[in-house]
């Protein structure tokens, strides 16, 4: 288990070493050093497959904050292992691809790989964490790391915009997720996912709120409708990042969350329709929107949204426990999607890298110039379209099987609305077929026109082709040998999603290339026929995209909402940020009067016992009247110097009170401070102009009078009430033994030096630092200050 912990920490350790490698080994591309990390993790995950395939689970815990029940607990089962293999395996291919894609002369590679490694480590933390608080920590770290990766080319406005949008939406979802996880911990009195899964929470009053909050977190991260708008803008990141974050890892985190908590919420009508409905709508909208895109990466972005919706839909259908085929198909398509979408992103990156453009309107005729890239595009696109002999065909057929089985269920109102699922799935598959054909035919077929390209077009170097070639081989292998994955990976993962499913009954060797002339096959033939007809007549019906009102789009609502919030915040800020200190003091004093005074009245906390008062001598009354008179003088005078003198009188009379109450040290301090303050005030105010006319208005003085009286009355009431509400014995009795305890004859000095020694030392340290700062500013030469 120690090796497992080390494996999960390796990306963060390497992230610390990357800047040093980049600086001191400049001749070698930093990616070669980084490549060792995902390869090592992937090989370690491969070693775990036989053990996990036998039904074993790895569990270990390291104390972190044991007093709060927060530990770094690692939990490895079939579901976590699939994601671990994808994160490390696709990560290794992406790093290898980036070595040839990212130029070490023009790019800040140390930043690139540091962000990438942090993201990789965070994703591993998400899928292997058993403690929900630790899971949330890694969850938010993925959002931060993806923000840095998307904004890698921060000089570009669109990169900054895309990074900001992804951060705003995913962090919003993360906060919702945190609330949902806290509700789960309240319901189960544990932070362990394993223990939460085993608890029966149905019927609990917090069950539905927790479900909704967790789904918001999952849907925002996995770009589900209507939170999908951040994903297309995230395509401003370098292509290796798009291939990693938005096809195999980050967007799959939401899928992982839905799958992991299916045992908790699955089997309820709310979970079924929320997950299934959101998934099928996202599938349809993503595929429909992808067809109208002119940018290859934008098309892949919407196709990713669509494919993620397909997986979410299958998880929702399978949560009913009656359609195990759907969960099986979801897991199989999860793997297949990572292979063909990673391949496609890399191929699009190659096209962009070698032609200088991703605009479909400028591309065409590349088949003869880039034959290997063309072949890879065919394999990836046809797999995404669900055509044989590629792995996407198998999982797409299982998808059709899942929606058909769901439509026949006599539960969750499926006997009425169930027919909608296969219809929408079939329509979405047609659009998927269309944009898959666009990727291949409009990019590589047709006439090659040299004038359309800014650079000379040629085939990519071998190094850049290795990663997509490897994924293309996997696409073919998974088609011809699917049950190897099914028995060793999918079956254990299904047991994690649907606990109680005994050893995957009815699943082993369930994937077959040919099942006969089934309804699914005829649906596929219909997709191909209708898809080809619609592709051939694309120019005749694509006008429908122009009639979609731009102001009704979620991007428009997001932009306007963001701008509106900024304007509203600016207007509110301008109202109260006047630049006048008096106004700020008014806010503070009014708030103080309302909160403190209101609590005294509403909570009936004021208490007064005259018997507790001491006797008041005649000279104390005289001194009190002097203070009141001086305060009135400060309020009524029009001269600043007179006001300063009045304040000085108040301070000196307070010092006399300290003498009367036998506090000579306080009296001495008060006299010194008051003398210096009055002298400084008189020196400064002498050179200031007279008070403005605005201070002479009745409203100005009335406001001052009301606020002043309010603060004075509230403070007086609090002091009187505090004197009459002694809940505990006075602490002063402890300090009466200061001589015996500290050897000090002066109780105040004993408190400051002995009983509060650390506090006093830190105060002295602060004053010392401030003194050094002032001294440095005074001694700083004038010309250097002007330069600064």
Q: Encode pLDDT of 472-481 as tens digits.
A: 999 999 999 9
Domain ranges within the chain, ordered by starting residue: 271-501+510-536, 639-690, 751-788
Q: Is 217 exposed, middle or buried (0-12, 13-18, 19+ CB in 10 A)?
A: buried
Instruction: Indicate the range of 52-61, 146-155, 500-509, 689-698 predicted with least confidence.
Output: 500-509
CB 630 within 8 A of CB 646: yes
Cis peptide before 226 (omega within 30 of 0): yes
User: Alpha-carbon distance 566 to 371, whole Å?
Assistant: 51
Helix, strand, coil percentages for the chain (3-state, nearest 5): 75, 5, 20
Radius of gyration of the chain (CA): 35
Dihedral over alpha carbons 748, 753, 757, 760 (to 10 degrees): 80
pLDDT at 503: 46
Establish how many alpha carbons lie within 13 A of residue 787's alpha carbon, considering only the half-sphere containing its beta carbon.
Answer: 5
Q: Who contacts 325 (Cβ-Cβ below 8 Å, separation ≥6)?
A: 318, 398, 401, 402, 405, 510
C-alpha–C-alpha distance, residues 371 and 358, integer Å: 18
Q: How confident is the model at residue 394 (pLDDT cuts 50, 70, 90)?
A: very high
C-alpha dist (Å) from residue 446 to 72, 270, 364? 57, 50, 6
Q: Quick: pLDDT tens for 373-384.
A: 999 999 999 999
CA distance 428 to 285: 8
Q: What is the pLDDT of residue 693?
A: 52
CA separation for the pair 681, 642 (Å, rounded): 11
Task: Measure the CA–CA gap between 757 and 658, rounded to whole angstroms.
Answer: 24
* The pLDDT value given to residue 103: 82
The share of the chain scoring above pLDDT 90, in percent, equals 47
Measured over the CA atoms of residue 671, residue 673, residue 676 and residue 682, the dihedral's sign is negative
What residues contact residue 776 under an 8 Å CB cut-off, 6+ apart? none
- Any residues with CB less than 8 A from the CB of 129 and at least 6 apart, and which? 72, 73, 74, 75, 135, 138, 193
Q: In the predicted model, is pLDDT for residue 236 greater than 80? A: yes
> For position 1, what pLDDT does the model report?
57
In whole angstroms, what is the distance from residue 217 CA to residue 131 CA?
17
- Mapped onto helix, strand or coil, the DSSP state of residue 608 is coil
Contact 623, 656 (CB under 8 A): yes
User: What pLDDT shows up at residue 612?
Assistant: 65
**Tens-place pLDDT, residues 119-166:** 999 999 999 999 999 999 999 999 999 999 999 988 888 899 999 999
Cβ proximity of 147 and 190 under 8 Å: no
Q: What is the mean pLDDT of the chain?
A: 87
Identify the pLDDT of residue 296.
92
CA-nearest of 37, 42, 29, 35 to 11 is 37
* Arithmetic mean of pLDDT, 297-315: 94
Reduced to 3 states, what is the DSSP secondary structure of residue 770?
A: helix
Four-CA torsion 596, 600, 602, 603, nearest 10 degrees: 110
Least confident among 84-93, 540-549, 740-749: 740-749
Unique residue bearing structure tokens 């009430």: 721
Residue 285, both tokens: 């909208």
What tokens does 403 get?
Answer: 């929606």
Residue 784 has pLDDT above 60, yes or no: no
SS (H, E, C) 348-366: HHHHHHHHCCCEHHHCCCC
**Numbers of helices and strands, H then E, in the chain:** 37, 2
Q: What is the mean pLDDT of residues 338-358?
A: 91
Question: Is residue 246 pLDDT above 80, yes or no?
Answer: no
Which residue from 613, 397, 635, 645 is spatially nearest to 523, judged by alpha carbons?
397
Residue 599's region, left for phi above 0, alpha for psi from -120 to 50, else beta, is: alpha
Residue pLDDT, tens place only, 263-272:
999 889 999 9
Least confident of 35-44, 442-451, 624-633: 442-451
Contact 248, 146 (CB under 8 A): no
The reported pLDDT for the residue numbered 660 is 87
| Distance between CA atoms of residues 142 and 121, nearest Å | 9
Using DSSP's 3-state secondary structure scheme, residue 607 falls into coil
702-738: per-residue pLDDT in tens?
888 889 889 989 998 888 887 766 667 777 777 777 7
Q: What is the mean pLDDT of residues 523-547?
A: 91
Q: Stretch 540-561: mean pLDDT, rounded?
A: 81
What CA–CA distance (Å, rounded) separates 566 from 28?
46
Name the token pair of 774.
Answer: 């002032």
User: Residue 399 in contact with residue 333, Cβ under 8 Å?
Assistant: yes
C-beta atoms surrounding 598 within 10 Å: 11
> How far lies 698's CA from each of 543, 576, 707, in Å?
68, 21, 14
C-alpha 264: how far from its chain's center? 24
pLDDT at 504 over 60: no
Top pLDDT among 697 and 395 is at: 395
CA dist., res. 739 & res. 735, Å (int): 9
* Digit-coded pLDDT (tens) for 76-129: 999 999 999 999 999 999 999 999 998 877 778 889 999 999 999 999 999 999
Tell me, what's the pLDDT at 544? Answer: 87
Give the contacts of 211 (CB within 8 A, at least 6 positions apart).
180, 265, 268, 270, 271, 274
Round to whole Å and give the CA distance between 325 and 315: 10
Regarding predicted confidence, which is higher, 685 or 30?
30
| 206 confidence band (pLDDT: 50, 70, 90) | very high
């Amino acid at each position: 288990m120690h090796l497992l912990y080390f494996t999960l920490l390796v990306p963060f350790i390497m992230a610390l070493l990357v800047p040093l490698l980049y600086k001191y080994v400049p001749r070698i591309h930093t990616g070669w050093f980084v490549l060792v990390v995902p390869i090592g993790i992937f090989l370690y995950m491969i070693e775990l497959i036989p053990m996990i395939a036998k039904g074993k689970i790895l569990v270990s815990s390291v104390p972190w904050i044991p007093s709060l029940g927060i530990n770094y607990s690692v939990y490895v089962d079939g579901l976590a292992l699939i994601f671990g293999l994808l994160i490390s395996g696709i990560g290794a291919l992406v790093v290898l691809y980036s070595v040839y894609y990212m130029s070490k002369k023009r790019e800040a590679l140390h930043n690139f790989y540091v962000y990438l490694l942090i993201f990789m480590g965070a994703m591993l933390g998400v899928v292997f964490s058993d403690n929900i608080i630790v899971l949330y920590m890694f969850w938010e770290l993925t959002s931060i790391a993806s923000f840095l990766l998307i904004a890698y080319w921060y000089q570009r406005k669109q990169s900054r915009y895309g990074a900001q949008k992804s951060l705003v939406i995913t962090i919003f979802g993360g906060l919702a997720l945190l609330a949902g996880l806290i509700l789960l911990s309240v319901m189960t009195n544990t932070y362990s996912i394993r223990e939460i899964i085993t608890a029966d929470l149905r019927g609990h009053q917090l069950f539905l709120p927790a479900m909704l909050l967790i789904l918001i977190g999952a849907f925002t991260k996995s770009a589900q409708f209507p939170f999908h708008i951040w994903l297309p803008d995230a395509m401003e990141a370098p292509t290796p990042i798009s291939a990693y974050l938005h096809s195999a890892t980050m967007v799959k985190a939401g899928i992982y969350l839905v799958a992991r908590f299916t045992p908790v919420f699955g089997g309820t009508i709310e979970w079924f329709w929320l997950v299934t409905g959101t998934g099928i709508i996202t599938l349809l909208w993503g595929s429909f929107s992808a067809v109208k895109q002119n940018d290859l990466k934008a098309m892949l972005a919407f196709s990713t949204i669509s494919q993620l919706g397909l997986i979410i839909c299958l998880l929702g259908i399978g949560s009913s426990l009656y359609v195990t085929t759907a969960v099986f198909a979801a897991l199989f398509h999860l793997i297949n999607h990572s292979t063909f979408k990673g391949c496609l992103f890399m191929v699009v990156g190659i096209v962009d890298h070698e032609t200088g453009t991703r605009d479909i309107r400028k591309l065409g005729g590349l088949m003869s110039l880039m034959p290997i890239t063309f072949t890879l595009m065919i394999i990836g696109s046809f797999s995404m379209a669900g055509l044989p002999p590629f792995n996407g065909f198998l999982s797409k057929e299982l998808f059709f099987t899942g929606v058909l089985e769901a439509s026949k269920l006599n539960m969750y109102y499926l006997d009425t609305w169930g027919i909608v699922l296969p219809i929408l799935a079939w329509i979405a598959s047609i659009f998927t077929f269309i944009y898959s054909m666009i990727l291949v035919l409009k990019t590589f077929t047709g006439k090659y026109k040299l004038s359309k390209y800014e650079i000379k077009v040629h085939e990519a170097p071998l190094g850049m082709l290795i990663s997509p070639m490897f994924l293309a081989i996997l696409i073919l292998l998974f088609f011809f040998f699917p049950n190897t994955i099914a028995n060793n990976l999918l079956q254990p993962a299904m047991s994690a999603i649907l606990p109680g499913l005994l050893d995957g009954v009815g699943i082993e060797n369930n994937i077959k290339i040919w099942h006969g002339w089934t309804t699914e096959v005829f649906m596929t033939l219909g997709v191909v026929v209708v898809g080809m007809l619609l592709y051939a007549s694309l120019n005749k019906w694509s006008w429908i995209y122009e009639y979609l009102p731009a102001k009704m789009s979620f991007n428009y609502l997001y932009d306007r909402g963001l701008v509106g919030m900024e304007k509203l915040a600016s207007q509110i800020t301008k109202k109260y940020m006047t630049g006048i200190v008096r106004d700020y003091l008014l806010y503070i004093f009014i708030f103080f009067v309302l909160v403190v005074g209101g609590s005294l009245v509403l909570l009936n906390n004021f208490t007064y016992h005259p018997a507790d008062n001491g006797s008041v001598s005649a000279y104390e009354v005289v001194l009190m009247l002097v203070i009141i008179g001086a305060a009135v003088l400060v309020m009524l005078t029009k001269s600043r110097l007179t006001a300063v003198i009045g304040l000085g009188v108040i301070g000196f009379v307070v010092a006399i009170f300290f003498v009367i109450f036998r506090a000579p040290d306080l009296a001495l301090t008060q006299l010194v401070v008051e003398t210096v303050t009055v002298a400084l005030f008189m020196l400064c105010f002498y050179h200031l102009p007279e008070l403005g006319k605005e201070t002479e208005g009745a409203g100005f003085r009335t406001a001052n009078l009301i606020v002043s009286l309010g603060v004075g009355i509230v403070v007086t009431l609090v002091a009187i009430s505090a004197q009459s509400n002694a809940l505990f014995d006075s602490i002063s009795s402890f300090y009466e033994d200061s001589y015996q305890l500290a050897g000090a004859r002066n109780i105040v000095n004993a408190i400051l030096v002995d009983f509060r020694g650390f506090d006093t030392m830190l105060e002295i340290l602060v004053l010392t630092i401030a003194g050094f700062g002032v001294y440095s500013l005074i001694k700083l030469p004038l010309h250097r200050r002007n330069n600064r």
